[in-house]
Structure 1
Amino acid sequence: MGELAEDLFLRLSPELVEEVFFRLPPDEPACLAQASAVCKPWRRILADVGFRRRYRKFHGTPPVLGLFQRGDWLFRKGSRFVPTSALFPAQPDHPDWLPMDCRHGRALFDRTWDKSVLMVLDPLTGHQRLVSSPYTHSVSFSAAVFCAGAAQGCDHHGCQGGHFRLAVVTTNNVQEVTSGWLYSSETRVWSDLTSLHHPNLRFTNLAAPSVLVGDALYFNLGGIIECQLGTLCLSMFEKPIDGKGTLMATQGGLLGFAAVVDAANLTLWSREAGPKGAMGWAKLRIIDLEALLPVDAMSLTLEFRRISGIAEGTQIIFVIARAGSYMVDLESGRVRPVSCLCRKIFPYMSFYIPAMEAACAGQEH
């Protein structure tokens, strides 16, 4: 097989071979690993840094490689990692850490028993960095991790491993104030964001995943908090409906919201300008979960029909049903069971090319 492949390589230009490799699915790293094992010329192409950059640019949004899950009834605290792709590096469970966010090749955790420390993890390399939190008292809060160039238009094709930023938003229901901080890994300093006063508005105690849309972060803490990364300003507006739901980005690059309504209908909204220019929520789609999910997945109890996570930059959401969690592609309609656990999910998205990762580490492959 190796001799035949090498003979084929000699007949084809490297540019044509690259075009073939570009079309190997990024959510199945085993395909690229198998191609790198065929012959040395193919391995050299896959190990080239320029190919990695072009491969990421070709596919754009990185695939979901695994899921960080909060503790459940069996695993009572901390988090566990469930890979969704073959060959992904093994990840240990983190019983002392709760997942808060995943973005741009990094995962963010806070300590289960000490909220004064955050951990930023690179799941590909296992590298961890501890960061002191800007708050020490118990309040409702949410946190986000993102690359340092997010506000400057980074395409995120190769920013993993570089500098990152953290955003933390906290709410105090007694003082009726929301505060925020922004951290830079380059300066190792927290900057204060503007504060908001919100009388008579109750916020949830459960941290929800953030969403990055353009140069703004959005947090769902009962009301929706907008954090403008350029101006460091906070603002607030209402959700389209009361109750549980999840922020997401629409296919058009706008802020979206998704919630399970009337027990079986997944409803999607988009925040956009109305006829008179005022921003508001517009209903986009209603999806019948009973027609989408397997028959044995549905439960008679509404509590077990809700959204447990989103894959940012895609139309992929994670839905909890009686039989566990399902990954649902709203664009293609494909449904895939991913876990028997019914807990909040933080998808880890990144490009992983084993041959290239080994080359970057200075190892022979």
Structure 2
Amino acid sequence: MTARRRAQEFCEAYGLSMPILQAPMAGACPPAAAAAVADAGGMGAAGVVLDSPSRIAEWVDEFRSMSAGPFQLNVWIPDPLDDDPAKVSAAEEFLNRFGTPGPEQPPAPSFEEQCEAMLAARPTVVSSIMGLFSPDYVDRLHAAGIAWFACATTLAEARAAQEAGADAIVAQGLEAGGHRGVFAAETAERTAVGLFALLPHIVDGVDVPVIATGGIADGRGVAAALTLGASAVQVGSALLRSPETGIAEAWAASLDGLEPEDTVATRAYSGRLGRAAPTPYVRSWQAPDAPSPAPYPHQRRLVGRWRKGTPDAAAAVALDRANHWAGQAAGRAVAEPAADIVTRMWSEARSLLPDAE
């Protein structure tokens, strides 16, 4: 099957006019950005790992007030809890150099309640990262006419997701900004594979459509991914500087001219490995005297406390007020409307793909 035909079949299945999905970036997918992508012919998205059920419902209502297009809701599969008090204490002591912490934050939303809220919202797609949904939940999604897209970073993960009932695999290369979707947190560093080595490996090893993500920021990347067997692509960092996304000014500034090799794979924000801009805060966790960040979700909780606290005015390094996630192609992000970005990407890709069926 040709790349064009494969993309066309995917688009027909999910109500798209271009095979481009917005990556579900928690904290960087407001309804306006998702609606812009959906109305341009792609698929909008929201990462809801930090959201309460009521917030999920509010996001969906706001999106639907702007667009009738397709969208996905994405959630993390919870990690087994690592309650090593020594690791947590060491991270807490290190964070004291950035200021005085605020009070303990409210408990994280219940994963089970988030799953129920996503089911009730009836999106086009519910997607997962860091693992697999239970068989019962997958059955309930399918009974409601909702597709399940599962993020995978290895062929073994992709095959496990297919066996569990995933309708498509999101193949995530190491170039991707934000968190790596590995099923086992401790393997994230040693299983890092670039997208264009990973993609054909997964395509050849599963029978469901594969969506490519990581380092795709223009039409050349789209065309290359489709040529290697993807049915669609998912883009995140390329949309970060769009006005609809509305990320913090400091975060947007850290992307300007960012070289691919300068991005950093770090656990400093959450305890889970993710790719970010090399801010002084991120670099401070690489210093010889720095401990390992606390395991997820303890590191995320601690960073949240210090952000709510009082910064140390005399500190040489300030705590980033937002996670400066950045993929290896983030330096190619432009401050243009999201619809223009994805429309141009698809136009460029079409010009590069063979017309022959």
TM-score (normalised: structure 2): 0.26
- Structure with more helix by fraction: 2
**Structure with max Cα Rg:** 1
TM-score (normalised: structure 1): 0.26
- Structure with more strand by fraction: 1
